[in-house]
Structure 1
Amino acid sequence: MERNESTVKLIDNDQLDFLSDQLESEGFSSGYDSCDTSDSESQSQHNDNADDVDDGMNLECDVGGDHHVKYQNTSALCDHLKYILSMPELCDITFFVGPTKVPIHGVKAILSTRSRVMYQLILKNERCVKEAKKSRKTRQSRLTIEVNKYQPEDFRKIVQFIHCGSVDVDSRSVAGLLCGARQFGLDDLKTACWDYVRRCVQTRPQSLTTIQRGANKYIHHRYGIKLFTKIQHFMTSAAKKVATETAV
């Protein structure tokens, strides 16, 4: 199993700066203050305290010219966003996945920002809900969407990746993740899945049967067929090679 971290920003820098200013004006703060790097006394004090704040915090420092230093703790951000998914009361959208309608929760604003396809899906379903409310057919407050063509655990990982940019890829889930990456426009996840398959071919061929079994569940999807065919081709080639070596 390998973990893939997204290189896609959760939100554009300009929007993030605006959001930060807005939150601070409302009494919220990130906990990390800028300092004037031209002020030697302030810089010295910052250096003295660096060991205290950096211990185990995974802080990244970006020097932005002569007057400020930007600190980022993306690891903690991803962990918090992932934690939100486990708390339905903090989410505003629920996907009912598979024949057993397994509920998988998320936040519309984050999912829509990270994936244009997800945004279109949410927008389409919100319009349907508004139309239903107008005709008084429903009083439903939370948006719900049925997803029939994914395995629940695979779709949970897809939502997690869109939501917080981090996911564990393994032989059981790589097929579903690959199809989700293709459908929802997640190029970095698609690259990670193919890289995982390549590593399995080179170093863990015993896992290919599990990958192929997973791909067979997505045979209705273009990338499911593509993955199944590639694994089948490799396994056939490997078997022929072994047969030839044995005969010699």
Structure 2
Amino acid sequence: MERAESTVKLVDNDQLDLLSNQTESEGFSSGYDSTDVSDSESTTQHEDDNNDDVDDGVDLQCDVSGSHIKYQNTSALCDHLKYILSMPELCDVTFLVGPTKVPVHGVKAILSTRSRVMYQLILKNERGVAETKKSRKTRQSRLTIEVNKYQPEDFRKIVQFIHCGSVDVDSRSVAGLLCGARQFGLDDLKTACWDYVRRCVQTRPQSLTTIQRGANQYIHHRYGIKLFTKIQHLMTSSTKRAAAETAV
């Protein structure tokens, strides 16, 4: 299992059109900026600072630019955004996934900012809810969207990647993640999925059967067919090669 990390901004994007055209990595910021220490501070304060001058394992990245230094901790930010998904009371959209309607929660503002396709999906369903409220005079505090063409755990991982830019890729989920990456315009995730498949071909060929089984569940999707065909070709070639070596 490997972890895919996104290079797309989590938030702070005023133009959603940039999401589908963005090709360069962008920085993240936790809001911690360094400032000069005043000479008027007491000796006690300096002693405290000296005592704090120890590496406590916090993963801070430093970017020196001109007269200031920007500190950022992206791992903490991603962990906190991921934690939000486990707290339905903090989320405002619920996807009911698969025939059993498994709930997968998220925050509309984050999902919409990270994926233009997700933004359009949420907007379309919000308009539908608004029309229903007008006709039936009903109240609904949380947006609910049905998703029928994904396995619940795969879609949960897709939402997690869109939400916080990090996801674990394995042989069971790579097909669903690849299809989700294609549908929701997640180029980073698509690259990560193909990289995972390549690594499996090179170092873990025994996992190809599991990948193909997962791809068969998404045979209705263009990338599901593409992955299934690719794995089928690789497995056939491997079998013929093994047979030829045995004959020799």
Q: Normalising by structure 2, what TM-score? A: 0.86
Mapped partners of 1:117, 1:173: distance in 2: 21
The CA deviation string for residues 37-82 of structure 1, in whole angstroms up to 9 with x for no partner, is 9x8999xx7x957743x4221011111211x211111100000000
RMSD: 2.4
2:166 aligns with 166
2:148 aligns with 148
Q: Number of residues paired by the alignment?
A: 229
Mapped partners of 1:121, 1:14: distance in 2: 18
Residues 40 and 65 (structure 1), Cα distance of their counterparts in 2 relative to 1, 3 Å cut: farther
Q: How far 1:11 moved relative to its partner?
A: 2.6
**Match of 1:197, SS?**
helix
Residues 14 and 93 (structure 1), Cα distance of their counterparts in 2 relative to 1, 3 Å cut: closer
2:65 aligns with 64
Mapped partners of 1:241, 1:41: distance in 2: 77
**Match of 1:135, SS?**
helix
Mapped partners of 1:48, 1:247: distance in 2: 72
Mapped partners of 1:108, 1:59: distance in 2: 28
Q: How far 1:137 moved relative to its partner?
A: 5.6
Mapped partners of 1:108, 1:14: distance in 2: 15
Residues 178 and 232 (structure 1), Cα distance of their counterparts in 2 relative to 1, 3 Å cut: same
Letter of the 1:150 counterpart: Y
The CA deviation string for residues 134-171 of structure 1, in whole angstroms up to 9 with x for no partner, is 10263222100000000000000000000000000000
Tell whether the 8 Å contact from 2:13 to 2:113 is kept in structure 1 after alignment: no
Q: Normalising by structure 1, what TM-score? A: 0.86
Mapped partners of 2:114, 2:31: distance in 1: 25
Letter of the 1:115 counterpart: S
Q: How far 1:87 moved relative to its partner?
A: 0.2
Mapped partners of 2:40, 2:58: distance in 1: 24
More helix by share: 1
Mapped partners of 2:108, 2:13: distance in 1: 20
Letter of the 1:202 counterpart: Q
Mapped partners of 1:137, 1:224: distance in 2: 42
Mapped partners of 1:200, 1:126: distance in 2: 41
Mapped partners of 1:208, 1:137: distance in 2: 52
1:23 aligns with none
- Report whether the alignment pairs 1:222 with 2:207: no
1:55 aligns with 56
Residues 182 and 111 (structure 1), Cα distance of their counterparts in 2 relative to 1, 3 Å cut: same
**Match of 1:141, SS?**
coil
Percent identical pairs in the alignment equals: 86
Residues 14 and 223 (structure 1), Cα distance of their counterparts in 2 relative to 1, 3 Å cut: closer
Q: How far 1:36 moved relative to its partner?
A: 3.8
1:42-191 equivalence runs, <5 A: 48=50, 51-52=53-54, 54-66=55-67, 68-136=68-136, 138-191=138-191
Mapped partners of 2:32, 2:183: distance in 1: 38
1:212 aligns with 212
Mapped partners of 1:233, 1:173: distance in 2: 20
